[in-house]
Structure 1
């Protein structure tokens, strides 16, 4: 059984170590005190210490004694100033002590303190394994400031991290947002002839920079440090990361600059490269350029378009409303033997719905089922949207019921589409029932655009109290009202003559940092004037002009101000 996992061993060694510690306190008897069970002798060398070797029995006991002394006397480690420790503590012993403290005692701070003490006070030259272990354990525990200090000690001792250690450091610091430190590690490695930098290291850093919305920074680092380094063997995967980032940022022309320059670094684009560029072109509406790339793939590059290639093209044409071209690509896809997937059909169905061609959308839905592709919540949401757009709300409700039968749970957009359609047909109570269903859905984070049509419907119907209940439900779901919600409530309360409540809602709107626009302010001021409340109207206008910086010249002419604003002014 391992030493530290045995209760009997702990009790025995605790009693045994107490006698050792007493001996250590008598400096003159240190050698005799520890030598009773430890015959190890150490030597110093100016050469880097060798990798840790397998410990013999006396070294194992010495490691246990040192760990116990560290634990008992922490945070002070002055006891290790003794000549015995200075002579007999070797890099291998130190490594095992640090590993034991960090792993079994689970105290990385103490492990670091022991490392720092032995390095600075005992002038111990630690082995690479010690640095590697400390760097990893400190980062894993989230103690990155000490890890950076260990890295600096390592550099002073003439060590450079190997590819594995470097990759861990770069990834660890990048994950906590310390991108500058991560880049510094990598730049130092790239400038050293002794460090072999694996492509995974800089590929991971580039990916994390892009994920952190630092696309320009990623592109600059790639261009300045990676492409210009002799230590980097960039590959197609590296180029794809940068090209994808630029396409995602809608900078497709810059992406093509790297695409055209791949040959200079002995890299050839693969199908993923073309798919990224085609998708990027389609996103910015340059679908015809995307089609040229599709033809380039088909002309013979050792690979063929796949479902991603074709679906990107279909999506591009669908967004432009060119469903004829989208269908042509779809037919070409089928004829080439590429099977469309769920996303392909959803793109086409949604495109037809947006075009107002419900018949073609339903036809594509049937073809989808015929080819064995099972519709999902996105499919049903698009079809439901199509029915609601064409005024067939009852058909939409049937789809809603079918979804529930198939255990396809409506998402936030399914709720929003159907609720909005019901409100447009003045079926407010049915829309209200859907909101009650939404209240029980803990997996959906609702948005104000779901509630606003129902709140507006009840306000127009004069049922302000129910509108306020819905606003309270929004708060329960942690959905904050937006500008439109507040405007609807303000006007609704004004129409019912509840002017003070309308002013209170306006003030709350300002308090939560939701800045009203000119429509909201104009509506409230006009209602206050009609209600014979020019003083309050003036205060609102003053707030809008001075605090919100809204230009209200027409209202200044409308309000008949007098010197004493406490006197009610007739309108």
Structure 2
């Protein structure tokens, strides 16, 4: 069917006709009104309205009159109900920028008392959205009330798509709630739009909520929605839930397609569960699907993330043999994997290979290589490559600069990191939260706490939405997400949706906002510097800003208070933590245990750990039995019982045992510390070097040098290289002992064979004493030989 025939079927009224005549000698022969379409438009059912082919009986603005007449006819006759007709008008609006004329037509209809259907506004919303004029699209939706027009499901769907694209989730929720309150029933498309939008931004919880709501409304999920939610679950690392949904999908008779299989394969690969990933591959093959470039990319990416570089590279080679042509994503995965394996030269070769194949490496490819150079400490080469990107129009993004800044900070090059940060801002490349956090952390670690605090304030004052809210809202300040959501809901309900949009966009445009991690880094810096007042001020400030402290925040503050001997305050913070609904993590309990041991109270440390186990496991009787063993002095029974519980729960954590072992050493209960060591060794649990150091030190002090030597030989067997201080301490005690001196030669010989650099490791006094001992020994042996 020709384009003209399609237009005739569209129902062009009498008085209008389709004109395909060409302009001749600057004139046009048509009379009356015509609906013109050029050659290019014919292929798209009238997409290009040429001004030369639109004529009128009057000379004044023939285009506008023709277009206006057409819009009037289409809107009055309800000719815009089908998606095809709406798309046609949208193309007309976009190609000729006839939005103003369209609004004028709506005003005329309103003035004539003619009811306007919601499809008229759906066209405007979709047209503005295609032009990336989001504000105009939202304004169109908000003005529907002026025309006594109620949005239908298509209008709401169009609106939801527009604001989801901008990730304005508070506004999405407000519009969706308005849809429900207006008795407009969501359809498949509504839920597909919402679920897809939430999934793509990692908001799996909200996506599942919509999925459940859809089922409650008796809307059966179709293949598209199943695939969307399945992909979202995999993206959110909930691959077991995704697998169950995959099986439900099959049971419901919805045959999974290649996209579903690839999503599941990718989910298992990202978690390093390759047995299940290979099972998915077999199922794919059974259902007649072949592994494509996306599947190979997922496999190789997963293997590289798991450190299985040779296996990943083998799949890459296999893809070539199968005739798979790598795309930019596949190359980027390979380049990143090779860079992580410190095969940066091979990664650079792949960059060149991409160019030879006609693929343009993007900044992600370059960033992978720059990251590789930074990880290897080759910062000059990383910087050079960043400059190379600029020369080849592949401009560095915020991630490029952040990688370089993190690399510089890790290597203590804070001045250079600061220079890159300044360069970044001058070029209009806005720092991310990670960029700020890297710099603040680097400054804190180097003791430049004042500079770190200044950078924090720069970040906060320049970009904090709460400041904008305080200025814009006056006394009705919005300081947290709950009150902000209420504000947005009220705006949408009152019809000021555009105002709500502008508010949220201003917040989004405000850029980088100090998040909880930023506060935690700075609080930790203050605590380590002994400035607990500054740390507590930040702790209070983050809560005023609407952030909730997490277990790390509380743990850091508690540790800081313990550092300055404010034990009582630390326990008060601990109580507040539980009251505020933040469950203390094991790290918080370990902090209390460590400080209890330092204060020579190992019993309290043990009780604290048992309290933690009781709170998370609820096994009160078992925990009480362990506590009774410890109180009776039956330490070995208590430790063995604790180990048995850990193994039963398959949740072994060495840290509490290490803290207790060191605590026993600190309280001069070395025999009990040695018992803990022996029990752990019996269970094939490797004891940490700090525990071994404390044990050697304690045993030497008590004159139990034979056992101290055994512990030292244990460290050699496990491949630990201990610090010079403890090695010299042990040798000094052995050289002073008449009974244990014979161990010295064995230890020195073993140290040498296990990789110790004796010249650098042994102190001058130790070398002097060792030399004296060896000289006496030689003299003694010589005299024995003479006799």
TM-score after normalising by structure 2: 0.43
Which residue pairs with 1:480 in the alignment? 653
Q: What stretches of structure 1 of length at least 5 have no aligned partner?
A: 1-136, 143-160, 562-571
Note the alpha carbon deviations across 1:223-254, whole angstroms, 9 max, x for none.
Answer: x212344x212111110111122333444333
Say whether the 8 Å CA contact 2:532–2:560 is kept in structure 1: yes
Distance change (3 Å), C-alpha of 1:494 and 1:255? same
Structure 1 residue 463 corresponds to structure 2 residue 463: no
Q: Which residue of 2 aligns with 1:403?
A: 542
The residue aligned with 1:201 is: 295
Q: Which residue of the other structure, out of 365, 378, 381, is the alignment partner of 1:289?
A: 381
What whole-Å deviation, never above 9, does each CA across 1:502-539 have from its counterpart, x for those lacking one?
56544554455444453344355457x57xxx8xx988
1:322-337 matches, cutoff 5 A: 322-337=413-428
Is 1:519 matched up with 2:658?
no
Q: CA deviation at 1:269?
A: 0.7
Q: After the TM superposition, which of the residue ranges 367-376 and 174-183 deviates more from structure 2? A: 174-183
1:225 matched to which residue of 2?
Answer: 318
Residue correspondence of structure 1 range 247-286 to structure 2 within 5 A: 247-286=339-378
Counterpart-to-counterpart distance in 2, 1:405 and 1:412: 18
Displacement of 1:490 in angstroms is: 1.9
Whole-angstrom CA distance in 2 between matches of 1:556 and 1:442 = 57
Aligned to 1:390: 529
Call closer, same or farther: CA 1:314–1:548 in 2, change over 3 Å.
closer
* Other-structure match for 2:333: 241
The 3 A distance-change label for structure 1 pair 548 and 451 is: farther
Change beyond 3 A, Cα 1:412–1:258: farther
Conserved? CA contact 1:521–1:541, under 8 Å: no
CA distance in 2, matches of 1:232, 1:282: 32
Task: Determine the C-alpha separation between the residues in 2 that align with 1:489 and 1:370.
Answer: 45
Q: Counterpart in 1 of 2:626?
A: none
Correspondence 1:361 to 2:448: no
Q: 1:166 & 1:466 partners in 2: Cα distance?
A: 53
Aligned equivalent of 1:350: 441
Tell me, yes or no, if the aligned pair for 2:596 and 2:604 is still in contact at 8 Å. Answer: yes
Instruction: Note the C-alpha offset of 1:481.
Output: 4.5
Matched, 1:300 2:395: no
Maintained 8 Å contact 2:425/2:431: yes
Aligned to 1:79: none
The Cα offsets for residues 307-346 of structure 1, whole Å up to 9 and x where unpaired, read as 1122222222222222222222122222212222222222
The more displaced of 420-429 and 176-185 is 176-185
**Change over 3 Å in CA distance of 1:377–1:238 after alignment to 2:** same
Q: Does structure 2 conserve the Cα–Cα contact (< 8 Å) formed by 1:380 and 1:403? A: yes
CA contact (8 A) 2:405 2:438 kept: yes
**Inter-partner Cα distance in structure 1 for 2:266 and 2:526:** 49
Question: 2: distance between equivalents of 1:479 and 1:506?
Answer: 16
The residue number in structure 2 matching 1:63 is none
Assess, with a 3 A threshold, how the Cα gap between structure 1 residues 309 and 503 changes in structure 2: closer, same or farther.
closer
Q: 1:490 aligns with which of 661, 664, 667?
A: 664
Root-mean-square deviation (CA, aligned residues, Å) is: 4.5
For 1:308 and 1:172, locate their aligned partners in 2 and report how far apart those are by CA, in whole Å.
Answer: 25
Asked whether 1:379 is paired with 2:471, we answer no
- 1:317 is the counterpart of 2:408: yes
Check the 8 A contact 1:171/1:205 in 2, yes or no: yes
Report the CA distance between 1:368 and its aligned residue: 0.8
Distance 1:386 1:426, change over 3 A: same
The alpha-carbon distance between structure 1 residues 453 and 300, as it changes in their structure 2 partners (threshold 3 A), is same
Contact kept, 8 Å, 1:538 with 1:559, in 2: the verdict is no
Give 1:211 deviation, angstroms: 4.0
Q: How many angstroms apart in 2 are the aligned matches of 1:364 and 1:221?
A: 46
Alignment of 1:25-174 (within 5 A): 140-141=246-247
- 1:386 alignment partner, SS class: helix
Is the partner of 1:494 in helix, strand or coil? coil
Q: Measured at CA, do residues 473 and 197 of structure 1 come closer, stay the same or move farther in structure 2, by a change above 3 Å? A: closer
Q: Does 1:177 align with 2:275?
A: yes
Deviation for aligned residue 1:162: 9.9
| Counterparts of 1:463 and 1:269, CA distance in 2 | 60
State the shift of 1:163 in Å.
Answer: 6.4
The farther-off stretch of 472-481 and 278-287 is 472-481
Q: Deviation per CA, 1:138-185: give whole Å up to 9, x if none.
A: 99559xxxxxxxxxxxxxxxxxx9967985896698665256677789
* Structure-1 separation of matches of 2:458 and 2:381: 29
Q: Cα–Cα, structure 1 residues 198 and 318, in superposed 2: closer, same or farther, change >3 Å?
A: same
